[in-house]
Structure 1
Amino acid sequence: MLREINLAENRERTISNTIRDAEERYTKATEKLQKARIRLQQAEIKADEIRISGLAQMDKERQDLVDAADNDLNGLEDSKNNAIRFEKQRAIEQVRQQVSRLASQRALESLNSRMTNQLHMQLIDYHIGMLRSMSNK
């Protein structure tokens, strides 16, 4: 009978130790699960921060590209306007030169067609007289 009591006590101790070990493992597993949940929440928060930061960076870079394109477009527009002004001034100058040349040609033609030898001699005499009066002074 003593042997059966010892066996029962050993069995009871073994069962008690097994239950205690299981409870300790359960407690440790619960703690690990809680820590894992905390790490998961932290990871989710970090992922949200990274996503928001990435979206903000994308928006900033998109706006920078739009601004750069606008600046390039404005520069091209200014260049175009300067080129147009330059070409306009050049065309105006060419027209002035042509008008001046044509006016000179017509005046010379008119003068030659009206100039007789007698008128030519009178004009020469007139200018010689003017030069003499200027040199006497």
Structure 2
Amino acid sequence: MFTVRSFACRVQPPLEQLSETFPNHLTPTKEQKGLSMDTTPTPNKPLATYRDGKLKATLWQNENREGDTYYTVNLAKVYEDRNGKLQETSSFSDTEVLRVTELGKEARTHALHLKREHSLERKQQQSQERNSDRRGGGTPDRFQNRSEPRMER
């Protein structure tokens, strides 16, 4: 059996599960106590989930502290435990490794498509901002102090 290690995965469990496991997860840290903003975590929903039988790849969208968007993928196998409760694992058999790799590729392709769309939107927005600056600016500074047009020969 092969084990796939996590890679840049930031999966947030449901808030109910967090409160059962870590009842004080909403307690602010020392740095947060001085802040006036709301520090309650918001649940993160996956953008897409790709499945192949019991295997799945989940695509997540995240933001870093600077506000930049990045994407992560969680690879898992769903199974039923002895009590009949559904669980997930990141261990895969030799026959499942290739299948889960294909799911990961699909999720990556989706993430690349989203990055391209985001980049195009950002470029269009910057272009519109530049055009509005050109139109709404009035007389350029270099022409402000001229009282009469000069013709020199």
- The TM-score, its normalising length taken from structure 2, stands at 0.31
Instruction: Indicate the structure whose relative CO is greater, using CA pairs within 8 Å and at least 6 residues apart.
Output: 2
Kindly name which structure, 1 or 2, has the bigger radius of gyration based on alpha carbons: 1
Report the structure, 1 or 2, having the larger helix content: 1
